[in-house]
Amino acid sequence: QVQLVESGGGLVQPGGSLRLSCAASATIVGIYVTGWYRQAPGNQRDLVATITSGSTTSYADSVKGRFTISRGNAKNTVYLQMNSLKPEDTAVYYCNLKIGAVDYWGQGTQVTVAS
């Protein structure tokens, strides 16, 4: 069982930046995908960005050019650098790890973009 812990959320003004972190309880080996999702009140949980074990990244159109997903040197931490934040980025952000058919989720971290 892998546990994921997110951190780095908070309140930021429009145009500001935040960096989210997702730490796994173990170093993952093999083929896997780590991603960030977000869910605003009343909405479904949407994919924001992913990074594969081979370091291939992908992004939702709404965050391309503003958000960057990356993996730490220790390989068990994934980051989401969020720049030029907009009020519509406000949501609970969840870290996800997919290993084969198994999904692991963190508990989420709130990001609020407001002046």
DSSP per-residue codes, the chain: ---EEEE--EEE-TT--EEEEEEESS---SS-EEEEEEE-TTS--EEEEEEETT--EEE-TTTTTTEEEEE-TTSSEEEEEE-S--GGG-EEEEEEEEETTEEEE---EEEEE--
The predicted-structure confidence for 27-46, as pLDDT tens digits, reads as follows: 888 889 999 999 999 999 99
Q: What is the pLDDT of residue 14?
A: 98
Give the pLDDT band (50/70/90) at residue 13: very high
Q: Averaged over 79-100, what is the pLDDT? A: 97
Q: What is the pLDDT of residue 28?
A: 83
